[in-house]
Amino acid sequence: MNLGDAKLVYAFSCIVLSLIILSPTLAMVIPSPSGERFSELWLLGSDHMLAYYPFNVSAGETYKVYLGINNQMGNLSYYRVNVKLRNESEPLPNSTMGLPSPLEPIFEYNVFLRNNETWEREVLFSFAAVSFEGDVCRVSKVLIGEHAVDVSKIAVWNETSNAFYYELFFELWIYDPAGSGFQFHNRDVGFWLNMSSQL
């Protein structure tokens, strides 16, 4: 081995030894590859299980569900959940295209979650100023907790099921710092409500 080769081996050995010694510090600076990043959104019934969602509802009665989010995005994330109410003919989010429902939210929840952190809230809701005229039901006000929202939402009589149907659903949005705003996170959950039970 000549002198040039020995210098090259010595330099390479010093670099490798430096990397081994500095590896704990480098691990804090350089992120390691992680698994799949995702967020969870769920809805539980009044007994805190995947059952007993409100269905037959009446004006003036209060109903309860549980709404939850889990952050597995690998970092602190800022979420928004838009609460929306629709009738049978109005659009849901399009999961194939990744588009939210164009309906206006009636309420929203905003929450910061660290990685692997869970947020869950009891959602109390009720309806007020419900009127019936022929084959049309009009809900004029929805209460989410203490917040009253004017909605003026019409449902047409479903002759097959003999009911006026509404759906309360929840869309998950996430803040995108690069885009400087919230973007639909392509997750939604909801349940149907039969408003004809008071007829």
The string of pLDDT tens digits covering residues 102-156 is: 999 999 999 999 999 999 999 999 999 999 999 999 999 999 999 999 999 999 9
Kindly list the domain boundaries of the chain, sorted by start residue: 1-32, 38-198
Q: In what order do the strands lie in the sheet with 62-72?
A: 38-44, 62-72, 118-133, 136-144, 147-156
Residue 94's pLDDT is 95
Query: Is residue 10 pLDDT above 90, yes or no?
Result: no
User: In the numeric block, which tokens belong to residue 87?
Assistant: 């009738």
Integer Cα distance of 56 and 194 in angstroms: 5
Lowest mean pLDDT among 1-15, 29-43, 154-168, 174-188: 1-15
Query: Is residue 12 pLDDT above 70, yes or no?
Result: no
- pLDDT grade, residue 6 (50/70/90)? low
Integer Cα distance of 34 and 73 in angstroms: 10
Residue 105's pLDDT is 98
Residue 153's pLDDT is 96
Backbone angles phi, psi at 14, to 5 degrees: -65, -40
Structure confidence by residue, pLDDT tens digits, 73-109: 999 999 999 999 999 999 999 989 999 999 999 999 9
- pLDDT grade, residue 26 (50/70/90)? very low
Lowest mean pLDDT among 140-144, 150-154, 169-173, 177-181: 177-181
- pLDDT grade, residue 24 (50/70/90)? low
Integer Cα distance of 197 and 181 in angstroms: 41
38-198: CATH topology is: Immunoglobulin-like (2.60.40)
Is the Cα torsion angle 94, 98, 103, 107 positive or negative in sign? Answer: positive
Block residue for tokens 């509404």 = 166
The DSSP secondary structure of 14-52, one letter per residue, reads: HHHHHHHHHHHHHHHHSPPP----EEEEEEE-TTSSSS-
Q: What is the pTM of this model?
A: 0.81
> What value does the mean pLDDT take over residues 58-87?
97
Element housing 62 (H / E): strand 62-72
Query: Is residue 32 pLDDT above 60, yes or no?
Result: no
Residue 33's pLDDT is 52
How many Cβ atoms from other residues are within 10 Å of residue 49's Cβ? 10
Considering only residues 33 and 162, tell me which one the structure prediction assigns the higher pLDDT.
162
